[in-house]
Amino acid sequence: MDRRILVVDDEAQIVDLVQEFLRTAGFEVDAAGDAAGALELIRNRIYDAAVVDFNLPDMNGVMLHRQIRQMDPELAGKTIFMSGFLQADTNIDYYTSFGGGFLAKPFDVRDVVDAIRNVLGIQD
């Protein structure tokens, strides 16, 4: 498949689980534990899609997504947010306004794979 996915989350257990399922599904996966690490990876690699936790230690998902939009507009449109907190309606509106997607934690890891396939237009 040769599609590269970026996973950004400060919870190592979630990163490990998501990476494992995405790799099993045939994707190449890189991970970052914070926004700064994610932005560094995006500067140096091309990603087909991203899975981003909304609550990162150094900035929230909206701020990170705005920076991704400046760096790689195509990736920004293929970003899936995930969060254990359902923030104010304005944030949920933001999630859905750009068309990438949103997964509420806890989620079934297969839902991440399905969401990635969906944003990439991959049929089973």
pLDDT mean for each 10 residues of the chain (124 residues): 91 93 95 97 97 90 91 94 66 66 81 91 82
Is the Cβ–Cβ distance between 82 and 51 less than 8 Å?
yes
Q: What is the pLDDT of residue 34?
A: 96
Q: What is the pLDDT of residue 96?
A: 66
Q: What is the pLDDT of residue 92?
A: 63
Q: Rounded to 5, what percent of the chain is helix, strand, coil?
A: 50, 20, 30
Please, where are the H alpha helices in 25-124? 35-44, 61-71, 73-76, 89-97, 109-120
CA distance 9 to 79: 13
Domains (range + CATH), the chain: 4-119 (3.40.50.2300)
Q: What is the pLDDT of residue 107?
A: 80
